[in-house]
Structure 1
Amino acid sequence: MVHDTRDINRTTVLAELLRHRPITRKQLADLTGISAATVTRTIDQLIADGIVHEVSELVSEQRGRRAVLLDVVAPRSVVTGIDLGASNTRIVTADLVGGIRAQVSLPTPQDAGPDALAAWVADEVARLAGPDRPHLRSAYVGLPGAVSSDGRTITNAPNMPQLERSEFIATLSDALGFPVAGDNDANLALLGEQHFGAARGVPTAVMITIGAGLGAGVAVDGRILRGKRGVVGEFGQLPAGPLGTRLELMVTGPGLTHLAAESGIRIDSPAEVFAHDAPQPLRALRAHFDQALLIVLTAATVSCEPELIVLGGGVSASLADDLERYEAMLTHHLGVAPRLVFSTLGEYAGAHGAAVAALHDRYRALGVRETELATLPA
């Protein structure tokens, strides 16, 4: 019982310190309701473990012992977040309090199989980490497909079929020398936006990414929803188009290019579909796009009644003038509409979210309770 109480005090104090750093012992006692003597003993142990350090004294006009500010030893553990896309890969490293140490965007090797791709990612992570490499402790990787609940099996990844049902995650873990877990890239993009971007402070939200594929992440009460096989939020698989066409084929870049070709028009970029002076066949294609996207937005809204839907990905950049119109369409059909906003993290949303997920693994290892993670890193 004594041991359990000490563990509870430790995880409570550490969570509040991570959330409100830098902070004094007295402030921690006030926040947690734990006695000042117990907080001091807990902090002394955290300092002995190399997790916390004293950073400065607060000058006080009152007599007596001066208050000392405490902080987390941020470089003690470094994590990496990886967003592995068919065209580009983004990698970030972050310290224990969520500070980004470095980030890079690289073209993904197009013809690499699972083993070669894992070796390439591991080399680039080591290169980016540089002197932080010995402190790397965990990694998360965002993948353009459905990822199983154990974070290791990948399915439904048409843009990177070489990863499907492969041992890519296990191979990458071996190459890096520490645990790696995977998740759908849209899930991690939403996690990034909730901690650092457009959905910050919004516990129930949806992230929809429209680019080479259509992805969606769903969060309810601050927790990303993940099914056993990772198909939660796969709205692009809905056979809601003509003759059962999947919605993904009607809104993504490759899908729009293919549909334009079927209409006898060659386009160099999907953005041409959204031009104000587009020819009539492309205007008709745009109308089909709007209808398909409305179905996606409706499905997202009725799935969890989000306060906010964040749009990201290359195709969404062409929709700058349309968010109010889509909100009005949703309101007309449902009587209510979430706010529609664009990603503020842009192309790095997935990598930043992957770093957050990796940090959550580190916090768990330090004893932080699962219920505290929704607001960490602060």
Structure 2
Amino acid sequence: MVTAEQARSANRSAVLSVLLSGNLLDRNQIIDGADLSRATVFRIVDELRASGLVEECELEPPSGPGRPPVGIRIVAGSRLVCGVDLGGSQCRFVVADLLGRAVARSHHQTPRDLDGPGLAVWIGDRVATLTAGRSGPGTLGSVAIGLPGALSGDGSRVVASQNLPQIGGTDFIDALRSVFAAPVVLENDSNLALLGELRYGSIGAGDTVSLLAIGTGLGSAAAIDGTILRAQDGRLGEFGRLNLPGSKIRIRDLVSGAGLVAYAQQNGIDITDAREVLQAPLRFGGLHRQVIEALVHLVAIVALSYEPRVVLLTGGFSHGLDDALLHRVSAEVSEIVGIPVDLQRTSLGDHAGLYGALATALAGLYGSMGILEEHLGSIDVDRARVTDLFGRAPNVV
């Protein structure tokens, strides 16, 4: 039996989800969208106005005599969210309003010399810089951070991080949560990159798809029927730990930026950027073949594990894979596994993880505002404005 309090919460959630389209609506449009009575909608709108979440604005005046009608719209700047994509070498930030429209962004080298708590404070300082001096600043209501490592199922501990070992354990996460007054959501960066593609990229929201994040390190994520897979110990899809057949060489030693540089130098080959090997196959003949064989093996494992419609690639290392090489790897994997394998670059590029962090932060904020799970999927923000992070939002140094 639904209680009166539950009914009121559901009604408020329905009205808010309609208003979060960002459009200027008259009350009749809100009534139709929320499928509620006139009295209920009027009461909820008045409550939202009193809290500062919505405002009244004049609509287009009528052609005849009479007062101009009044519309209602969300006050987008009344709340802010922050998304962070923390990588082994680069860290990206975006601050956005209630509608997901970026108001500020920044991009920095990750300070690898800091310990875990020190890195948490550094992240907090960067976010404070982005939110300071905003025009009509809102309250920071939610922060989502993508981490280059495996997280425990409850998000309280980084199980392991190849590229930022100082974030391992609980100290870094505890420090992050003490730095921010707003709730903080932590997630594996590969999962967020895939979420970004599903929410804002070219992949259908209900697709089965895998993603390989090949940058300084190697990560992966998978979604079946649009649901991202997660495991209790956080190691799902950590294929880089596997050895190549008949060898003690791990996949990530050949298919990751830091891993390949270290492996090459251990074998007397002087490189400073892993992409050098991909760009000069004749010069690095034997090593180049090893890398491609390892990549084929990796993609074959992914294809057999999830049977994805497409395997997406992102990360700096993957930029060294030209179209011809992607086609070759796809063909070899298809022959091995017996099903077509479509290997593509992410449509959002290296910013996919930042878009995923933004989507997660928005979902956290909407939940704290009382929007129920059943209404989250109906929120129809202006997708073009959300995905224009870098055309509109100023870059803050």
Same fold (TM over 0.5): yes
Asked if residue 351 in structure 1 is aligned to residue 351 in structure 2, the reply is: no
Of residues 364, 367, 370, the one that matches 1:364 is 367
2:12 paired residue number:
10
Task: Summarize the alignment of residues 258-337 of structure 1 with structure 2, pairs less than 5 Å apart.
Answer: 258-275=262-279, 278-279=282-283, 282-321=284-323, 322-337=325-340
1:1-378 aligned within 5 A? 1-19=3-21, 21-59=23-61, 68-132=70-134, 135-199=139-203, 201=205, 203-275=207-279, 278-279=282-283, 282-321=284-323, 322-337=325-340, 339-373=342-376, 378=381
Paired residues in the alignment total: 376
Deviations 1:298-342 (Å, cap 9, x if unpaired)? 333333333333211111101131333333334333443354332
User: What is the distance in 1 between the residues matched to 2:260 and 2:281?
Assistant: 17
Identity %: 36
AA partner of residue 255 (structure 1): G
Rounded Cα–Cα distance in structure 2 between residues aligned with 1:19 and 1:134? 19
2:294 match: secondary structure: helix
Which moved further from structure 2: 345-354 or 56-65? 56-65
Change (3 A) 1:13 1:62: farther
Unaligned runs of 5+ in 2: 382-397
AA aligned opposite 2:304? V
Q: Report the CA distance shift for 1:375/1:6 in structure 2 as closer, same or farther (over 3 A).
A: closer
CA distance in structure 2 between the aligned counterparts of 1:327 and 1:56, rounded to whole angstroms? 56
Structure 1 counterpart of 2:119, one-letter code = L
What displacement does 1:154 show? Answer: 0.5
Deviations 1:22-66 (A, max 9, x none): 444333333443344433333333223322223441455699886
Gaps of at least 5 residues in structure 1 are: none
- What do you get for the CA RMSD once the two structures are aligned? 2.8
What is the one-letter code of the residue matched to 2:17? Answer: A
Deviation at 1:67, TM superposition (A): 5.8
Tell me how far apart the structure 1 counterparts of residues 179 and 49 of structure 2 sit (CA, whole Å).
Answer: 32
- Equivalent residues of 1:58, 1:69 under 8 A apart: no
Q: Bigger CA drift: 162-171 or 295-304?
A: 295-304
SS in 2 for 1:293: helix
C-alpha displacement of 1:95: 1.1
**1:250 deviation in Å?**
1.9
For 2:158 and 2:182, locate their aligned partners in 1 and report how far apart those are by CA, in whole Å. 20
SS of the residue 1:97 aligns to: coil
Q: How many angstroms does 1:68 deviate by?
A: 4.5
**CA displacement, residues 72-122 of structure 1 (integer Å, 9 cap, x when unaligned):** 211111111112222222111111111111111112222211122122111
Question: Match for 2:296: what amino acid?
Answer: L
CA distance in 2, matches of 1:64, 1:306: 59
Q: Deviations over 1:116-167 (max 9, x none)?
A: 2122111111112112476212212211110122222102212111111132
| Structure 1, 63-72 or 23-32: larger mean CA deviation | 63-72
Equivalent-residue separation in structure 2 for 1:192 and 1:21 (angstroms):
23
Q: Deviations over 1:226-262 (max 9, x none)?
A: 2112122222223344425322122111222234345
**Structure 1 residues 261 and 171: alpha-carbon distance in aligned structure 2, compared to 1, 3 A threshold:** closer
Cα distance between partner residues in 2 of 1:190 and 1:375 = 20
TM-aligned CA distance change 1:24 to 1:203, over 3 Å: farther
Residues 178-232 of structure 1 deviation map (CA, whole Å, 9 limit, x = unaligned): 3223111111122222233343645433221101110112233433322112122
Secondary structure of 2:20 counterpart: helix
- Evaluate the alpha carbon distance shift between residue 36 and residue 164 of structure 1 in structure 2; reply closer, same or farther with a 3 A threshold: same
Assess if the C-alpha contact under 8 Å between 1:301 and 1:337 holds in 2.
no
Contact 2:142 2:364 in 1 (8 A): yes
Amino acid at match of 1:223: T
Distance in structure 2 (CA, Å) of the matches to 1:372 and 1:338: 35
Pick which of 141-150 and 233-242 moved more: 233-242
Output the TM-score relative to the length of structure 1: 0.88
TM-score, normalised with respect to structure 2: 0.84
How far 1:295 sits from its partner (Å)? 2.9
More displaced stretch, 319-328 vs 162-171: 319-328
In structure 2, what residue type is equivalent to 1:182? L
Q: Are the equivalent residues in 1 in contact too, given 2:112–2:164 (CA < 8 A)?
A: no
- Secondary structure of 2:237's partner? coil
